[in-house]
Amino acid sequence: MLVFEFPDAARAIGRLLMTLAVAAALLGWRGHKLLAVLDRRLAKVGVDAPRSLAEAYPTLPTWWIPESGWGFALVGVVFALGAALALAARTAKRMGA
């Protein structure tokens, strides 16, 4: 396996996956909070608020930001894969591979 041949690179990729998953989760959470605040403020005026980040920001690529339970579950899977890869690489390096 490549983890045993290149443990430092595999560990770096695992850490990168974990970092990207956390960043996506935080952006999704903040986006959800932003839309909730926007909904409350626009409801006072009587205007319909956007229901998703894609509606709020149509020119920005928001497809990678999780907005539903399934999206956050996918982010959790990516984080778990990154953690497993980093752990396997650390173990392979300790074994002297």
Q: What is the mean pLDDT of residues 34-40?
A: 89
Give the model's confidence band at 8: pLDDT under 50 very low, under 70 low, under 90 confident, else very high.
very high
> Which structural domain, as residue segments, surrounds residue 30?
2-94
Name the domain count of the chain. Answer: 1
Q: Does the structure show a pLDDT above 70 at 97?
A: no
Instruction: Calculate the alpha carbon distances from 87 to 1, 10, 15, 22 in Å.
Output: 14, 9, 10, 17
At residue 61, does pLDDT exceed 80? Answer: yes
Give residue-wise pLDDT tens across range 74-83.
Answer: 999 999 999 9
Structure-token pair, residue 20: 């990207």
Q: What is the DSSP string of the chain?
A: -HHHH-HHHHHHHHHHHHHHHHHHHHHHHHHHHHHHHHHHHHHHHT-PPPSSHHHH-TTS--TTS--SHHHHHHHHHHHHHHHHHHHHHHHHHHTT-
Q: Rounded to whole angstroms, how far apart are CA atoms 89 and 36? A: 41
